[in-house]
A and B are shown apart, each in its own frame.
Chain A
Amino acid sequence: MERYVQLENVQKVFETKQGRFVALRDINLVVRRGEFVSIIGHSGCGKSTLLNLIAGLTEATDGVLLCNGREIAGPGPQRAVVFQNHSLLPWMSCYDNVFLAVERVYGAVESKESLKIRTEEALALVGLTHATHKYPHEISGGMKQRVGIARALSMQPKVLLLDEPLGALDALTRAHLQDEISRIVAASGCTTIMVTHDVDEAVLLSDRIVMMTNGPAATIGEVLDVSLPRPRERLKLADDPAYNRCRSEVLRFLYERQNRPEEQVA
């Protein structure tokens, strides 16, 4: 498989009032086309910063970031982001939120009718046809996050970046959405990078799990291959020894090698 997203010696330093703060150092990562990679670590380890670097929302202090052989110079619709807090525009209906993205990407080349179809298809993909004309405050947190995913996917991005997309949801909704993300991503064939702090989520969804050391000056500690066959079924996996081996390996990394007492609360 070809190298799609490439990070070489990436470093991110924030200039704060207290002086230089090294958030990330020596990040080397290659993500292949179509791969699903999770980034996991304790809070404050800079995993969201890493995702923002790939999105182009923040600029690296040092190192090289490539996507499809080209340098990542800034954000763009080919690297769609699903934000942690859904970031839907509250003054627009679900339809208009998705349409904004569709219009931006296809508005110049496609007819009004085809833009409409794309928007409706994206909402149908996440099972929200019934909420098309609802406003964000009228729907649940899980549904908002699904609109966020629909908005991202409607642009047919090359890379889908998920920043703790399910972090704010209750356990049941989260499980349900994990299954949906798994299905949707498989169907779209998108290269996906997801930030999470949920071990089960990471193992269930990923081809590889990137484990981050604690900050400051965090870097990639270990990378775990999750060679479980797809489609994966939550219930069957519960008793699968391979699944449990992956799970305990991530847990061991997080709680034995990178344990920080003050972080356990968070």
Chain B
Amino acid sequence: MTVVKMKMKPTIPEQVEAPKAAGNGSSLPAPMKAPEASLSPAKPRIVMMLAAALRTLLPPLLGFAVFLALWAIIAQKSGLPDPGKTWNSAVKLFSDPFYQKGPNDQGIGWNVLMSLGRVGIGFGLAALIGIPFGFLIGRFAFLSRMTSPIISLLRPVSPLAWLPIGLYVFKQAQPAAVWVIFISSIWPIIINTSVGVTRVPQDYLNVARVLKLSEWKVFSKILFPAVLPYMMTGIRLSIGIAWLVIVAAEMLTGGVGLGFWVWDEWNNLNLEHIIIAIFVVGIVGLLLEQMLLLVAKRFEYQG
């Protein structure tokens, strides 16, 4: 139950995936071209391949075109920077991504790396604590019943509500931001891992019992591999949340980072850079998601 709920949470990656799904289900061009292809089998291979590439690429390209057109129209009405202006600004910005002019003026590359670094540390700590904790909760029903009300209570809390606590305890902005990432990304890891443990098929555990495997063998040969796919889902959700939260957290805590950069450019009224930041956040998030999907695929097994 809880897993299903968690899966719904990171809205951004799912929206990013949407155009791809539309590309696969491109029902419109397909039926028009299919009979043509079957009628002329002698058609050169290269043409067929190009046609296939066009069919997969056309819908997303069209989507982007519509998106840019809408953006241009809205920009004209509202005075926001239009796509062209933003592009020029981006070219200039990315031509020197790693400059350093004092603590509050650094290249976009540094901002991205700093944000990724905070996410990495916060998420890493969450995994370090969440995974073993999830295993314990999954293995011992008593522990699960003991902790589940608290987890249910704390999980829906908005990540930024934790920031003041972090600021007070650590007296510094940097660890406070990491703390927010940690506390908001630990829940999916704990919950998915523990659900994974409870779902390990009884048959596998019976094998372990008949073989009288040692606790370590049971863990390393049966529990861990069986739980791994669940754990990977938890990790993926977790990183998604962490990336969502980091921008907001950095806006409040300052320092070098994408969130701070957005806020800083707002103070400079440099709207091109804010739009660029939005794209950068989206693209980095998308890349993180895809990377983890690849890793997860590596660990999947077929039953």
Contact = CB atoms under 8 A, between A and B. Distances in A.
A131 to B, nearest CB: 16
Nearest to A85: B203
A81 B210 contact: yes
A231 interface: no
A181 interface: no
A87 B204 contact: yes
A90 interface: yes
Given A85-B203, A90-B303, A75 B222 contact: no
Contacts of A104: 211-213, 217
B301 interface: yes
Given A87-B204, A89-B222, A57 B302 contact: no
A76 B210 CA distance: 5
Interface in A160-211: none
Contacts of A137: 301-303
Nearest to B212: A76
Given A87-B203, A104-B217, A80 B210 contact: yes
Given A100-B221, A104-B211, A104-B213, A83 B303 contact: no
Most chain B beta-carbon contacts within 10 A, residue among A79, A80, A90, A135: A90
A77 B222 CA distance: 17
Interface in A69-87: 74-77, 79-81, 83, 85, 87
Interface residues of A, number: 24
Interface in B29-87: none
B215 to A, nearest CB: 13
Contacts of B302: 90, 135, 137
A89 B210 contact: no
Nearest to A88: B207
Contacts of B217: 100, 104
A57 B206 contact: yes
Contacts of A101: 211
Contact of B203 (A74, A83, A91, A105): A83
Nearest to A148: B207
Most chain B beta-carbon contacts within 10 A, residue among A76, A89, A100, A137:
A89
Contacts of B124: none
B207 A89 contact: yes
Contact of B209 (A57, A91, A92, A100): A57
Contacts of A79: 210
Nearest to A100: B221
B206 A83 contact: yes
A55 interface: yes
A89 B221 contact: yes
B225 interface: yes
Interface in B174-212: 203-204, 206-207, 209-212
B225 A89 contact: yes
B200 to A, nearest CB: 11
Contacts of B303: 90, 136-137
Contacts of B209: 57, 74-75
B211 A77 contact: yes
Contacts of B226: 91
Contacts of B203: 83, 85, 87
Contacts of B207: 83, 87, 89
Contacts of B211: 77, 100-101, 104-105, 155
13 contacts: A57-B206, A74-B209, A75-B210, A80-B210, A81-B210, A83-B203, A89-B225, A100-B217, A100-B221, A104-B211, A104-B213, A104-B217, A137-B301
Interface of A: 55, 57, 74-77, 79-81, 83, 85, 87, 89-92, 100-101, 104-105, 135-137, 155
